[in-house]
């Protein structure tokens, strides 16, 4: 029996899916990264500091890079399930914005760790590349959902890809500002503010303009039945231009 199996058996039934040994490996890894540097720290160093064997490390993490991003796989799974459980009546743009908030929640659960990881990825190009690949997977998850929802539209694929990219860009802009501020401030409010730009531009549930009127104007053209179509079109264009 491995040391990881022994530790897992000590957990009470119904314990969280994230075992204590996994947390210990992450904690040991980041302690060494901060003390000695990421490149200088090996997997052997991490397992020695955590008091476990190499087999235990690779049971939880395929590589050293993965220990820097321990919760993204679960977050991706949660996002996929959240989108899969959507109702047909849900506004798809609002839904993907809510899905992006799951990523924020993951970061906000442990601000100290999130800030440390942000600083580390800024220092190590390889980790930055790895992080970008994770961001791409989030974007693809959102886009896949939107493509299904917009499948009846001629521009459905393009619309889905553009909205998914906009959601990720808005979310990450606010998230990184919060991380640069050392996790201080209201991250939820900042992300909500950023995502509002996306819903205002793309959602079918956009709020009405001030005064309860819709933002789009209505142009009414009164003409004789015998009026040539080219003149009707000209009058409509004239009315739109006047608006």
Q: What is the pLDDT of residue 160?
A: 96
Q: Where in the chain is the domain with CATH 1.10.10.60?
A: 3-66
Burial class (CB in 10 A: 0-12, 13-18, 19+), 242: exposed
Q: Is the pLDDT of residue 236 over 70?
A: no
Radius of gyration of the chain (CA): 25
Distance CA 21, CA 56 (A): 8
| CA terminus-to-terminus distance, the chain | 77
Name, in order, each residue with C-beta under 8 angstroms of 98's C-beta and a sequence gap of 6 or more: 82
44 sits in which H/E element:
helix 43-50
Average pLDDT over residues 53-64: 90
| Closest by Cα among 162, 194, 199, 161 to 175 | 194
| Closest by Cα among 81, 76, 46 to 60 | 46
State pLDDT tens for residues 166-204: 999 999 999 999 999 999 999 999 999 999 999 999 987
State pLDDT tens for residues 61-113: 999 999 999 999 999 999 999 999 999 999 999 999 999 999 999 999 999 99
Q: Is the pLDDT of residue 122 over 80?
A: yes
Distance of CA 180 to the CA centre of its chain: 18
Q: Is the pLDDT of residue 234 over 90?
A: no
Q: What is the pLDDT of residue 239?
A: 61
Q: Lowest-confidence range among 118-122, 198-202, 239-243?
A: 239-243
Q: What is the pLDDT of residue 7?
A: 43
Q: What is the pLDDT of residue 205?
A: 57
pTM for the structure as a whole: 0.73
Q: What is the pLDDT of residue 183?
A: 94
- Superfamily of domain 71-205 in CATH is Tetracycline Repressor, domain 2 (1.10.357.10)
State pLDDT tens for residues 22-50: 889 999 999 999 899 999 999 999 999 99
What DSSP string describes 151-175?
A: TTSTTHHHHHHHHHHHHHHHHHHHH
Distance CA 127, CA 120 (A): 8
3-66 fold: Arc Repressor Mutant, subunit A (1.10.10)
| Closest by Cα among 103, 194, 198 to 146 | 198
């Amino acid at each position: 029996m491995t040391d990881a199996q022994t530790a897992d058996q000590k957990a009470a039934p119904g314990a969280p899916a994230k075992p204590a040994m996994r947390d210990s490996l992450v904690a040991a890894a980041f302690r060494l990264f901060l003390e000695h540097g990421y490149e200088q720290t090996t997997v052997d160093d991490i397992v020695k500091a955590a008091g476990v064997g190499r087999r235990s490390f690779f049971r939880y993490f395929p590589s050293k890079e993965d220990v820097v991003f321990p919760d993204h796989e679960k977050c991706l799974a949660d996002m996929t399930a959240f989108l899969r459980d959507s109702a047909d009546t849900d506004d798809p743009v609002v839904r993907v914005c809510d899905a992006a908030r799951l990523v924020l929640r993951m970061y906000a659960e442990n601000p100290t760790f999130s800030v440390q990881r942000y600083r580390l990825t800024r220092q190590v190009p390889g980790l930055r590349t790895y992080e970008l690949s994770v961001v791409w997977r989030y974007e693809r998850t959102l886009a896949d959902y939107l493509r299904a929802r917009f499948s009846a539209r001629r521009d459905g694929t393009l619309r889905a890809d553009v909205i998914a990219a906009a959601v990720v860009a808005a979310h990450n802009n606010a998230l990184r500002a919060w991380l640069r501020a050392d996790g201080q401030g209201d991250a939820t409010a900042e992300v909500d503010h950023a995502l509002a730009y996306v819903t205002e531009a793309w959602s079918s549930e956009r709020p009405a303009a001030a005064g309860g009127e819709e933002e789009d104007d209505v142009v009414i053209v009164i003409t004789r039945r015998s009026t040539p179509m080219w003149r009707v079109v000209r009058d409509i264009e004239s009315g739109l231009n006047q608006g």
